[in-house]
Amino acid sequence: MDSLLVAGVSFAGLAIGGALDPLGERLALRSRAEDERRRASESAAHATAPQSPEGRATLAHVEEAVSEAWESADADDADDPAAVVGADLAPKGSARGRPVGAALLTGALFGGAAAHFGAHLVLAPFCVFFAMLVTVSFTDLTYRLVPRRLIYGALALIVPLLVATASVDNSFGDLTGAAIAGGAALAVFFALWWFIPQGMGFGDVRLAGTIGLTVGYLSILHAYVAFLAGFVIGMVFGLAVMVVSGAGRRTRIPFAPSLGAGAVVAVFWGGQLAHDLFHTAT
Cβ–Cβ < 8 Å for 9, 15: no
- Distance spanning both ends of the chain, measured CA to CA: 28
Please tell me the pTM assigned to this model: 0.82
- 213 Cβ contact list (under 8 Å, min separation 6): 155, 158, 159, 162, 178, 179, 181, 182, 185
Cβ–Cβ < 8 Å for 222, 203: no
Nearest 5 degrees, angle CA 174-CA 179-CA 183?
Answer: 150
Residue 196, sorted as left (phi over 0), alpha (psi -120 to 50) or beta, turns out to be: beta
Please give the pLDDT value at position 247: 63
pLDDT in tens, the chain (282 residues): 589 999 999 999 999 999 999 999 888 888 878 877 888 887 777 766 555 555 454 444 544 543 443 333 333 333 333 333 344 566 676 567 788 999 999 999 999 999 999 999 999 999 999 999 999 999 999 888 899 999 999 999 999 999 999 999 999 999 999 999 999 999 999 999 999 877 788 999 999 999 999 999 999 999 999 999 999 999 999 888 888 876 656 667 899 999 999 999 999 999 999 988 887 655
